[in-house]
Amino acid sequence: MNEILKDLKKIGYINHISITLLTIFFIFVSKKAGVQLNLFGCLYWYVASLLVGHYSAHNIKPTKKFKYIKGKNDTFVALPVVGIINMLTYGIPILIIDYFFKIL
């Protein structure tokens, strides 16, 4: 089992699998909680996209080392944008599959 995980990590599929599972989790919770477009819904999806963006941004290996000072805009603006892009990329096919097969 450890060899399989090492191979998946080397190929890079483990990130795709984990982002897919995170997206399924957040969609499932939002459906069960009945999240609508209000203040709570916006806050929920902001925190979800922040978590997915944090995971995505910190599990890649940069090709070059740069001296970089992290600021507040990176944490509260850039990471949620990365998370939103990832959640849309993985969430749209999941919702299409859910529409036809009702898996969630």
In the chain, how many domains are there?
Answer: 1
pLDDT per residue over 40-89, tens digit each? Answer: 999 999 999 999 998 888 877 666 666 666 677 777 888 899 899 999 99
Domain enclosing residue 93, as ranges: 2-101
State the maximum Cα–Cα separation within the chain, in Å, rounded to a whole number.
48
How much is the pLDDT for 78? 86
Q: Is the pLDDT of residue 14 over 90?
A: no
Q: Rg for the chain (alpha carbons), in Å?
A: 16
> Are residues 87 and 26 in contact, defined by beta-carbon separation less than 8 angstroms?
yes
pTM value surpassing 0.95 = no
